Structure 1
Amino acid sequence: MMILKDLEPKKVFYFFEEISKIPRCSGNEKAISDYLVNFAKERNLEYIQDKALNVIIKKPATKGYENVPGVIIQGHIDMVCEKTSDSDHDFSKDPIKLQIDGDYIKATNTTLGADNGIAVAYALALLDSNDIEHPAIEALFTTEEETGMTGANELDTKLLNGKVLLNIDSEEEGIFYVSCAGGLRDIITLPIEFEEVKENYTGLRIKVYGLLGGHSGMEIIKQRGNANKLLGRVLYDLLKYDIRGIYINGGDKSNAIPREAYADILVKDIETINERVKYLEEVFKNELSITDPDVKISIEKIESTDKVMKKSSFEKAINILMLVHDGVQTMSKAIEGLVESSSNLGVVKTFENRIEFTSATRSSVETLRDFIHNKSEIIAKLNGATITTSAPYPAWEYKQDSKIRELMKRVYKDMYGKDPEIAAIHAGLECGILSGKMKDVDMISFGPNLYDVHTPQEKMSISSVKRTWEFLLEVLKEMKNY
């Protein structure tokens, strides 16, 4: 049964629900990419599907717009796949279970995928139409944006002819983004050694949970708690009570602030450990009373083991958890309220002979991004670990002369009687990569209201989707005056 069938605009919500049935976690986009190809074939539209599974679908200009500069409608087809700890959802095959809650569309115990499924839905509704005035349209659907912007990096932009690019990957209606941060991913790898323990210990799992998490770019300014960092503080405190480490695990995505983390340990004095954990829970509740009032630390007995990390390995792991950078690092001096650089310790995972600590670093100033990376190099070196860097992407620099920005400002004020906000964003947008490849293309980013993206609490405003669609159609109509 179609959940969104009665919502307006009908075609936008129809296609949003259709793509919500298709698995599309980053790195698993073959099915959604093929769906787009079949969509184009069924409508006799020109299309291109490249090796990275990016798809371009082209639609000719409507009458009277033949000589207007072409417009690229751009969004990414992958989504961050997060779920609650009690969910049995299988992202590799299960459709997203949509629900309507007042003005919001949500998912049941998973991320919604409105980031960036709503851009895909807008583009498909536009391509499917026969009554909308528009210039030549090139709908550009890119892959693996959430894990390093692989699709945008591998895209051959010579396949595109448009001179204006509308990136629909922003999350606040009425805010037009004209600049974004660049970033990279650091992975600190700590070799660990194990040994047998013959003393009498009790196995415990210490878990930090109940945090809100969020997008490591958009929500980093809210200073929400990071479960990996809090777990590091717990373990550091408990070291003095002769605990032995077995396993550390936290977070799932480098670009999502981790909501949960746990460590399996062996202890001798359970009573003291319980007291310290209760104390630390109160400490965290006090420190995070505004941002994460529901933070909790649980203790659960587990089966004991005779194989544990050597004390030196365990202590080095805790050192890294304590020292690695996290949260806002610098604020912009030029734009009030804009985070200039940040880092997010998103994933900690124990393997057979190593622990990996994965951080996402962002900055609108490349040298500050590199400075944070250099400090991480030192932390790794001092603890006998190595560091590798992946998925670097450039910042999108502000363009002084932008005709599409001025046109959209005028249209917005005519429609709503107020000026839109022109802003920079502390998150990576594919405009950073695409602007470097297509220097003569005029770009801007906008979108409807989305909340708590990259978390199972993600939701999208129905009324905002409608207003943003109407605004998009008016912008396309006004392209005659570009």
Structure 2
Amino acid sequence: MSELSQLSPQPLWDIFAKICSIPHPSYHEEALAEHIVSWAKEQGFWCERDAVGNILIRKPATAGLENRKPVALQAHLDMVPQKNNDTVHDFTTDPIQPYVDGEWVKARGTTLGADNGIGMASALAVLADKTVEHGPLEVLLTMTEESGMDGAFGLQANWLQAEILVNTDSEEEGEVYMGCAGGVDFITTLPVEREAVPADYETLRLTLKGLKGGHSGCDIHVGLGNANKLLARFLAAHARDLDLRLIEFTGGTLRNAIPREAFATLAVPAAKVDALKSAAMAYLTTLQNELSDKDKNVNLQTEPLAHNGQALTANSRDRFIALLNSTPNGVIRNSDVVKGVVETSLNVGVVSINDQQAEIICLIRSLIDSGKEYVVETLTSLAELAGAHGAAKGGYPGWQPDASSPVMALVRETYQSLFGKTPNIQVIHAGLECGLFKKPYPNMDMVSIGPTITGPHSPDEQVHIASVGLYWQLLTALLKAIPAK
């Protein structure tokens, strides 16, 4: 028995525990999808999958509510796989280990997958709970949202019967979302040349770690450290004066997660090893001072390393470091239209060097298309200056806010009736799938709600237990309140 089974509401928490037990990182959701399809058919529900693997389940209306507008509850099947450096975990084979810590549910050393596992569990719980009153109901579970919104891109017209869609991927109880940012990946590739390391050099590994990391949309404005940028800053300051030969650089694992760790393998003249270590200690003191509030556990370590590989030439080293150090990161502009919300940002998510080229992968987000275009043009110009190639790919649209949305107004009224206060109507800087759903279903009325989740896309991810109960109350009351066609 999972300790989550002691939490309320049930069966939501039991279903979430089951979801945690089946590995489902992006591109590895099939086992979870098959389990859900088998469960739905065992329950006697109509269930079908489309060409890209999305799942659609239908449940008939509660007796007497057959004339209500049909509603789709929507969540995505995949989770972001992030773990602490000292945690042994294979996300493709090992279950997530959730546990209760006071008011929160957390995972042991990894992301929890509450994003969007709690939303998925709530949709399945509505199917399972015979006491929930609702009109004609559909549950749509999409594939591979976190790594490119593959399921949303592949959603076909005329498959869903719903007139209203409730997205469950929001992460703040008491807030109702009616719009979101669009995004696009930008990949810069820089050709590099290598040469032998001189015989009188020693090899060391420089490790920057201990950062919190986080969601590259929801957390981009918080001021968290980006390991790729912080390590590049150190190399820019010391590569030439210490005659550092750069052998390897790796940092970050996902373009939509703020990087928590970065590593550089360096060859340094034996006579300058102590100077490198002293410079690293001085830089760590600087970072501890700058990040004392947000990333107090930042650490920078040097350790000897046996390595026989070739290093970048001085010219390739300098161009790579200059390119990475000058690549913008974080908030580019705040919105003038939606106060308190980031308009445009980017995250320098994944950096790597192989024998022939360096690669920098960024995720750009913006509430407006021109914001994305501006950052793409900036990164393209930087690539040209560095002698690199830059290309945007995988763009997806934002969700244009509709202030006259009937379902948004109904959610606000229902929340006010339940809790005696008005929820915040918001636009989120993260990417939700609703913008993509508008292409095959342009007339569908959409809204996004969810419980409070902090630290998504990082091992600090946690979901607030009480907020899940409030979210469940809102969701079930909303379904009962859906008007007639």
How big is each residue's C-alpha offset from its partner over 1:294-342, in whole Å with a ceiling of 9 and x where there is no partner? 2121111111435211111111110121111200000111222110000
Contact 2:197 2:245 (C-alpha < 8 Å) held by counterparts: no
Q: Please say which of residues 189-198 and 251-260 is displaced more in the overlay.
A: 189-198
Give how far 1:473 is off: 0.7
Q: Partner letter of residue 375 of structure 1?
A: T
Contact 1:229 1:322 (C-alpha < 8 Å) held by counterparts: yes
Secondary structure at 2:451 match in 1: coil
Contact 1:61 1:134 (C-alpha < 8 Å) held by counterparts: yes
Secondary structure at 1:151 match in 2: helix
Please give the residue correspondences for 1:152-301 in structure 2 after superposition, counting only pairs within 5 Å. Answer: 152-239=152-239, 240-268=241-269, 269-301=272-304
Contact 2:197 2:267 (C-alpha < 8 Å) held by counterparts: no
Contact 1:20 1:96 (C-alpha < 8 Å) held by counterparts: yes
Does residue 404 (structure 1) correspond to residue 401 (structure 2)? The answer is no
- 2: CA distance, partners of 1:87 / 1:479: 46
Give how far 1:257 is off: 0.4
Q: Partner letter of residue 358 of structure 2?
A: I
- 1: CA distance, partners of 2:57 / 2:435: 22
How big is each residue's C-alpha offset from its partner over 1:214-246, in whole Å with a ceiling of 9 and x where there is no partner? 000000010211000000011111112101010
Secondary structure at 1:4 match in 2: helix
The residue aligned with 1:64 is 64
Q: Partner letter of residue 335 of structure 1?
A: V
The residue aligned with 1:130 is 130
How big is each residue's C-alpha offset from its partner over 1:64-119, in whole Å with a ceiling of 9 and x where there is no partner? 11111100100101000000101111111111011110111111000000000011
Secondary structure at 2:221 match in 1: helix
Q: Partner letter of residue 371 of structure 2?
A: L
Q: Partner letter of residue 345 of structure 1?
A: V
The residue aligned with 1:81 is 81
Q: 1:364 aligns with which of 344, 363, 367?
A: 367
- 1: CA distance, partners of 2:309 / 2:259: 30
The residue aligned with 1:2 is 2
Q: Partner letter of residue 178 of structure 2?
A: V
The residue aligned with 2:325 is 322
The alignment's TM-score, normalised by the length of structure 1, stands at: 0.98
- 2: CA distance, partners of 1:174 / 1:323: 39
The residue aligned with 2:30 is 30
Contact 1:147 1:391 (C-alpha < 8 Å) held by counterparts: no
- 2: CA distance, partners of 1:50 / 1:273: 56
Q: 1:426 aligns with which of 426, 429, 433?
A: 429
- 2: CA distance, partners of 1:274 / 1:349: 23
How big is each residue's C-alpha offset from its partner over 1:404-425, in whole Å with a ceiling of 9 and x where there is no partner? 1111111101111100000101
Q: 1:395 aligns with which of 387, 391, 398?
A: 398
Does residue 453 (structure 1) correspond to residue 456 (structure 2)? The answer is yes
Give how far 1:292 is off: 1.4
Secondary structure at 2:11 match in 1: helix
Give how far 1:293 is off: 1.9
The residue aligned with 2:41 is 41
Q: Partner letter of residue 389 of structure 1?
A: A
Q: Partner letter of residue 400 of structure 1?
A: A
* Structure 2 gaps, min length 5: none
The residue aligned with 1:440 is 443
Q: Partner letter of residue 136 of structure 2?
A: A
- 2: CA distance, partners of 1:132 / 1:293: 45
The residue aligned with 2:357 is 354
Q: Partner letter of residue 465 of structure 2?
A: I
Q: 1:380 aligns with which of 377, 380, 383?
A: 383
Q: Partner letter of residue 246 of structure 1?
A: I
Secondary structure at 1:241 match in 2: coil
Over aligned residue pairs, what C-alpha RMSD do you find? 1.2
How big is each residue's C-alpha offset from its partner over 1:12-37, in whole Å with a ceiling of 9 and x where there is no partner? 00110111111111111111111121
Query: Cα–Cα, structure 1 residues 146 and 401, in superposed 2: closer, same or farther, change >3 Å?
Result: same
Does residue 345 (structure 1) correspond to residue 352 (structure 2)? The answer is no
Give how far 1:130 is off: 1.8
Q: Partner letter of residue 153 of structure 1?
A: F
Secondary structure at 1:84 match in 2: coil
Secondary structure at 1:391 match in 2: strand
- 1: CA distance, partners of 2:92 / 2:168: 25
Contact 1:248 1:263 (C-alpha < 8 Å) held by counterparts: yes
How big is each residue's C-alpha offset from its partner over 1:353-405, in whole Å with a ceiling of 9 and x where there is no partner? 22211100000011111110111111112112112222211011111321111
The residue aligned with 1:53 is 53
- 1: CA distance, partners of 2:62 / 2:276: 71
The alignment's TM-score, normalised by the length of structure 2, stands at: 0.97
Give how far 1:481 is off: 6.4
Q: Partner letter of residue 80 of structure 1?
A: V
- 2: CA distance, partners of 1:313 / 1:117: 44
Q: Please say which of residues 163-172 and 291-300 is displaced more in the overlay.
A: 291-300
Query: Cα–Cα, structure 1 residues 117 and 289, in superposed 2: closer, same or farther, change >3 Å?
Result: same
Does residue 313 (structure 1) correspond to residue 308 (structure 2)? The answer is no
Secondary structure at 1:346 match in 2: strand
- 2: CA distance, partners of 1:258 / 1:195: 29
- 2: CA distance, partners of 1:153 / 1:322: 34
- 2: CA distance, partners of 1:340 / 1:129: 40
* Structure 1 gaps, min length 5: none
Q: Partner letter of residue 51 of structure 2?
A: K
Contact 2:249 2:351 (C-alpha < 8 Å) held by counterparts: yes
Secondary structure at 1:65 match in 2: coil
- 2: CA distance, partners of 1:19 / 1:325: 37
Q: Please say which of residues 161-170 and 3-12 is displaced more in the overlay.
A: 3-12
The residue aligned with 2:481 is 478
Q: Partner letter of residue 449 of structure 1?
A: T
Secondary structure at 1:72 match in 2: strand
Query: Cα–Cα, structure 1 residues 306 and 419, in superposed 2: closer, same or farther, change >3 Å?
Result: closer
Give how far 1:198 is off: 2.9
Q: Partner letter of residue 76 of structure 1?
A: H
